[in-house]
Structure 1
Amino acid sequence: MLYTLGVVIFALALVISIALHEVGHMAFAKKFGGKVTQYFVGFGPTVWSTQVGETEYGLKAIPLGGFVKIVGMLPPGADDLAKPAGVDEHGQPVHRIRRSNTGMFTQLVSDARAAEWELISPEDEPRLFYRMAWWKKVTVMAAGPAVNIAIAFAIFLPLFATYGNTADVRIDPVVADVSACVVPASENARVCTPDDPIAPARAAGIEVGDEILSFNGAPADDWEALQRVIRDNSDGRAEIVVRRDGEELTLTTNTTVTARPTGEGAEVEQVGFLGVTPTASPQTGGLLYTVEEMGAMTVRTAEALVDLPVKVWGVAKAIVGLEERDPMGPVSIVGGGRLAGETVSHEVIDWADKGAFLLMLIAGFNFFIGVFNFVPLLPLDGGHIAGALYEAVRRGWAKLFRRPDPGYFDVAKLLPVAYVVGVSLLVMGVVLIVGDFVVPVRLAG
């Protein structure tokens, strides 16, 4: 039941986020006089819909996205612009788009353009999206992903200010846990047995809450420095100064040598081992801290997007058993739902930590969706934004040098790119979803 609850919460949050993303597009399109004929959450067969004014609102069977239909996204071709079919009552040209059958990509562009214009009536001409000023088109298309980033910000801000940022953790040399025995790194989840040697920290009398001040005379200014001197000590004598209840105590023991991970990979080395776990405290901060962290997230997300095809290829190889799946790699919404379910149903994690993790997961997905949609490639929102900006530069340049107005930028010419990108995204999405079923990323611990 708890697992299902976590999945439902995550799924519902994403559906709401998608709905609000599309509201962003629709609200500004209508504000600028555009005609929005459809607003749907999901894809596939229609489950429910209702007509309100000129807009049909509804839900589709597959809640993996959404869309708004803004009339006139694709302008007519150059030949059609040159030869209007007539004029409307305001004297504006009315265009009718013909289909072409010369060349595969030409056919695709022509068919898409014709489908776009089939339901456009003469009175719609002044309200067509492509006729909007470039800055209005940028605003309409940016409003959707901006909503997702705003949702992420609205979650991150109070979370960072109270609970803290779990992705920015400060580790202090204050003892949070003392190992009872020395267990091999490969078996660190099991309990101690009578055959396991007692941990050096337990033998020395170190207790939870002790602040380690020095180790063999070396100041324990931070956990990384303390960890280095412990590991370098091998099985030598250890003199440890701790502060307990305001009093400094000197404790002695001998560290032991055992295999421990030395980095982010699976590599292990024989190093000195004491048997203490430090205190990890998420960093807290307000408005400026949140803005700085989201700026850093933007950089990390951009870097991750560059590596995304390689990472997805790694997931594909993990599916067929050629390599282990990277636990820090990308996951689909199926993987996100699984992590949410495992978190809520975890018996050890307390409810405050469960709530914080769920909020971080929801905010993280929203942030990624927002940044991803700004990528300047069709069919993403960023592709339309890039086209509008190019139109502004081109027309501004012509005006500056008193050249003829080059007119609206024809986004339809980029549709072949959109098809390639769309198919690529579909394939990567399917690989990630299959990977999340076959070789899922699981909650640590």
Structure 2
Amino acid sequence: MDYALGVFLFALGIAVTIALHEAGHMVAARSFGMRVRRYFIGFGPTLWSTTRGHTEYGLKAIPFGGFCDIAGMTALDPYTEDEKPYLMVDRPAWQRIAVMLAGVFVNIVLAMAIIFGVALVWGLPSTSTQQVPAVVAETMCTPATIADAKADGGAGRCEGDGPAADSGLQVGDTVTSVNGVAVEDFPEMVEQLDIVGADAADAGASVGDRVTVPATVDRDGSTVTLDLQVEVVERETQSGGSTLTGAIGMRIDNPNAELVQYNPITAVGGTVDYSWYIVKETAKALVDLPQRYWPVVESIFGGDRSNDSPVSVVGASRAGGELIEHDQWMAFLLLLANLNFFLAAFNLVPLPPMDGGHAVIVLYEKIRDWFRRRRGLEPGGPADYTRLLPVTYAITAILLVFGVTVMVADVVNPVRLF
């Protein structure tokens, strides 16, 4: 029940985000005296609509987007004589750019408002990029199978002191090498344990068996050599299957996992800092998006789906369902804020049919006209969009294929957070 509620709430959040994005275009256009013909949420067949003034408002059957139809957005748009005084294409360049970027502005403001609220209620995760050393905070047993790991509500079921304690690891030790390979932080240690466990499984070891490999730890400034026992365990993969890997049963104290607390005044700076962190990560994700496409295709046919795999609105809603199912309301809201930043960044891509593409065309017109004036010529008028149609169609087709692929993957092999 909680999962279904989470899916519904996140899907609703996406719909509200889209509605507010398009409302940003509409409000900006009207403030500059442009005429808004249609304001719709969704695509495809119309489910409901009503007309007020010169604008038709409505909902369409496919709730994965929306649009705001402004009279005369380009020189190619047909218009009536009644609309001629209100055409967007005849407005000053700065007004046209403001209208095209108004939706992006709304997404940014909405994301920062969500983050500000999270900062006040819970605090915000640290944006520090410091390494997390493999310092032993606690030793424990490790569940052998997937069923054991999921037992007791995810707390796990196992017995004994665990391989780490049996190997002589002590609280405060810092693991510096595993099986002859130096490790600088906890993720590198986990990577080496995975390799040890997988190699042991390939050699015939079964779940629950232990293999011993050399390891070194830093203990009070001195290097101590240990015979590290690594237990072969079964763990779930992103594709829903299982794999054999290595585990030793230890917990670390992750300083990056601690929430930074804020009051209403300091939350302003905290919101800006965390928002800038998300913007940088979003930019990296957009740059890497093309090379992530093929792994998504492979995941449809049984390959593993990585945690940082691109997701559609379907996958994002499923993630929202998992977060609510595990009572992770803070993470749910931050995911919605991330979505808003992604939509803002995506729409800023300077290619049609994105908002950024339309804004760049307006800038091109201004730069072109500046050069024309330098040559004693009249302004060139609106750009010829017919020359851009092949580019627009190609990019639209690419986005459609990418979106459908990711959506299929989100159905048959979704990203799992827990």
Q: Give the alignment's TM-score, normalised by structure 1.
A: 0.71
Residue 10 (structure 1) shift: 0.1
Please list every run of 5 or more consecutive structure 2 residues that lacks an aligned counterpart in the other structure: 176-182, 194-211
Q: Is the 8 A contact 1:182 1:198 kept in 2?
A: no
1:48 aligns to 2:35 (yes or no): no
Aligned twin of 2:284: 303
- How far off its partner does 1:172 sit? 8.2
Secondary structure, counterpart of 1:315 in structure 2:
helix
**Could you tell me how far apart the structure 1 residues matched to 2:361 and 2:391 are?**
13
1:365 alignment partner, SS class = helix
The aligned counterpart of 2:205 is: none
Pairs within 5 Å for 1:5-404: 5-75=5-75, 113=76, 116-117=77-78, 120-160=79-119, 162-165=122-125, 178-180=139-141, 191=156, 193=158, 198-201=162-165, 212=172, 256-258=228-230, 275-280=250-255, 281-284=257-260, 286-321=267-302, 323-346=303-326, 351=327, 354-404=328-378
Distance 2:54 2:188 in 1: 68
Identity of aligned residues (%): 35
Q: Residues of 1 paired with 2:365 and 2:348: CA distance?
A: 17
Counterpart amino acid of 2:283? A
Match of 2:206 in 1: none
* Pairwise CA distance, 1:409: 1.9
Specify the code of the residue in structure 2 equivalent to 1:383.
G
How many residue pairs align between the two structures?
A: 374
Q: Structure 1 pair 409/268, CA: closer, same or farther in 2 (3 Å)?
A: same
Residue deviations 1:22-70, cap 9 Å, x none? 1100111111111111111111222222111111111112211111110
Alpha carbons of 1:180 and 1:410: their partners in 2 closer, same or farther (altered >3 Å)?
same
User: Residues of 1 paired with 2:19 and 2:250: CA distance?
Assistant: 49
2:399 matches 1:408: no
Kindly provide the amino acid, as one letter, of the partner of residue 403 in structure 1.
L
Cα distance change of structure 1 residues 12 and 193 upon mapping to structure 2, 3 Å threshold: closer
Per the alignment, residue 247 of structure 1 pairs with none
Conserved 8 A contact 1:375-1:382: yes
Question: CA shift at 1:235, angstroms?
Answer: 6.1
What SS does the corresponding residue of 2:308 show, helix, strand or coil?
coil
How much has 1:395 moved relative to structure 2? 1.5
Could you tell which deviates more after superposition, 20-29 or 170-179? Answer: 170-179
1:431 aligned partner, one-letter code: T
Shift of 1:202: 8.4
* Offset, 1:124: 2.1
Residue 404 of structure 2: aligned partner:
430
Inter-partner Cα distance in structure 2 for 1:128 and 1:43: 24
Distance 1:393 1:427, change over 3 A: same
Q: Decide which moves more: 227-236 or 423-432.
A: 227-236
Q: Normalization by structure 2: what TM-score? A: 0.76
Letter in 1 for 2:317: G
